Amino acid sequence: MNIEIKRSIKPVNYIQAINFLEKRVKQIIDKKGEKELIWFLEHSSVFTGGSSYNNKEILDNSIKVIKTSRGGKITWHGPGQLVCYFVMDLNKRKKDIRKFINIIENSIIKTLKEYKINSSSDKKNIGIWYKKNNKIYKIAAMGIRVKRWVAYHGFSININNDLKYYKQIIPCGIYDRQIINLFKIKKQNYKEITNKLEKYLLNYLKV
């Protein structure tokens, strides 16, 4: 399998990360021999807006929102949150965006199940969800873009991040659900979560 696994220990600047992804996408489209990519990292605190967000979803006008090319609405990235970016050539697989999203969702769901956390996807609302006391919380967000059947951007999982930042926005444009992190659900050691995610992603993405 010709996939590069990249792990960054120090926080990565958001714009620099997206520029890196865009460059890799172009190289794959131009058939310059670059590998596909799975990249695990963390960002410093940043608000980003996808292609369908609007200013009404900003509750605190003092914040700066970086517009980005991924799909979706407005979200926050920062310390305590695991981000996984990818550049995947769907020309090598089935040209089915919904199936690709299902692969990502199933990888997250199975990973969380190893921590005895039951989660689920939602056909109407992209991402991964956790239900408690008849309330539904978002635990993982996803935003992708596909260019000439090369899929990129990725997803984020809230581990022990400060949830106060989500009060400054309408996260993912969803008004009737809240955001949660893994520590709020169950305090335990999540140090191996990256390894578990990598295992499931690679298993699903075999070509």
Residues with catalytic roles? 172
The angle formed by the CA atoms of residues 198, 204 and 207, to the nearest 5 degrees, is 110
Both tokens of 1, joined, read: 């399998």
Going by C-alpha positions, the residue among 81, 169, 179 that lies closest to residue 129 is 179
Both tokens of 133, joined, read: 């006391």
196 φ, ψ (degrees, to nearest 5): -65, -45
Beta strands per DSSP E along 31-118: 36-41, 46-49, 65-67, 74-77, 81-89
Specify the DSSP class assigned to residue 45: S
Residue 66: HSE in the Cβ half-sphere, 13 Å Cα cutoff: 15
Both tokens of 137, joined, read: 């919380």
18 and 45 Cβ atoms separated by less than 8 Å: no
